Every structure is written in structure tokens, then in C-alpha cells.
Structure 1
Amino acid sequence: MASLAMNHILERIALFQFTPTHCVQARAMLGWSAEQLSREAEVAVEDIQRFEAQQEVADAARLALAYRFEAQGLVFFPGFAPGRSASGQCASSESVGRGDYAMAD
């Protein structure tokens, strides 16, 4: 049960840290269109457009976007532009589907 509670807390942190502005900036850093991000994160283009326009989208869609960018080595902190992971390594694509992905190095 503690693992489930921890995952919920980590998801809440990821949702707080990843903003619509981050999404726009991260796409620009990677050179990705909304369509490419849609394919990469398996999130509808319309959801990406709504999120970037600061409209409501499902938490699951926001997490999928944040986790996909994190898999590319990006990190997010409120009030700052996205940065590259200090480790210089991207998380493997297999990590994205794991429930504990937010804890991956």
C-alpha cells in the first residue's frame, strides 16, 4: 500500500512541476510539433493544444506528456525553463510505461 501512496505523491509532484509553458518550451527544445509529441506520448493533438492553451486536460494526459519529455532527458521546475538532466542520460523507453517511472534516474 505504501508504494501506491508514494506513486500518487510522485504523480502530484510531476503535475505541479510540469506547466503548459514547459510543454511549449520542451517541444521547441526537441524540435517536435504537436503531432510528433502526440505520437511519442500517445496523447491526442487536441489535448496537447488544450493544455498548451492553459485549458483543462486529464491528469493522465499531462503525466504522459511530462514523462515522455523526461524520457528525453528534460527536467521541469516551476518558474524555470526546462533543463537537461544532469546525468546526461535519457531514461529508456521501457521506463515510460512503469508505474514507478517518476523515480527513474
Structure 2
Amino acid sequence: MASLAMNHILERIALFQFTPTHCVQARAMLGWSVEQLSREAQVPVEDIQRFEAQQEVADAARLAVAYRFEALGLVFFPGFRPGRSASLNEVKPESAARGDFAMAD
């Protein structure tokens, strides 16, 4: 079981890695509207709209959205589009040619 300090560090990492651009791109990947993401993450529509507009939003709302996407297997790294997680055993050589790993705009 992780300590409170470790949980805080993990939350800081998640907040750093998950950007407003990632949110828009992840919704597009899933075909979700802001309203659907709001229901799925249990975050007000207005918070999601503010976050995607690069305005201030409570860390708790950002984490709820990021964790909801991560629960569906999406991963986020600064400067890259969201990708789908896979174990090393599942990665196939042709996956590099797909475009899942393109740089974010």
C-alpha cells in the first residue's frame, strides 16, 4: 500500500503528464463528447470545458478525467498524442508504423 507521500507524488506526475490537448485527443479517440466524459469521470461539463480551454481547474477534476481515461487503457506523455497501453508481450513490430505515437500538435 502506497503512503500518502507516494500518492501525492503519483498525483503530481499524472497532473504533469495529462494536458488539455491530451483531453481533447483522448475524447476524439473514444468518440466521446464533453458531456459523455463528464458522466464517465463524474466531473462537471464546465470543468472539462475550462480545462480544454487551458484555464484553471481543480486538481481533483483533472485527476478524475485523467484516471478515467487511464482506466480505459490510455497513456499520456508530454509532447505525444495519447496512446493505448500494452504489455511488452503484446507489442508487435508493425505497431511502430501505425501512427499511434505521433507528436502532439
Is TM-score (shorter-chain normalized) higher than 0.5?
yes
CA RMSD of aligned residues (A): 1.3
Q: How does 1:25-64 map to 2 (within 5 A)?
A: 25-64=25-64
| Cα deviation 1:29-68 (Å, max 9, x = unaligned) | 0000000000000000000000000000000000000000
* Pairs within 5 Å for 1:7-86: 7-86=7-86
What is the distance in 1 between the residues matched to 2:54 and 2:85?
26
Identity of aligned residues (%): 93
**Which consecutive residues of structure 1, in runs of 5 or more, have no partner in the other structure?**
88-105
Unaligned regions of 5+ residues in structure 2, if any?
Answer: 88-105
Alpha-carbon distance between aligned partners in 1 of 2:58 and 2:6, rounded to the nearest angstrom: 20
Structure 1 length as normaliser, TM-score?
Answer: 0.81
Deviations 1:45-92 (A, max 9, x none): 0000000000000000000000000011000000000000013xxxxx
Distance 1:30 1:73 in 2: 11
| Stretches of 4+ aligned residues off by more than 6 angstroms | none
Q: Distance in 2 between matches of 1:18 and 1:83?
A: 12
Greater percentage in helix: 1
AA aligned opposite 2:20: P
Rg (Cα) greater in structure: 2
Aligned twin of 1:102: none
TM-score when normalising by structure 2: 0.81
Cα distance in 2 for residues equivalent to 1:78 and 1:13: 11
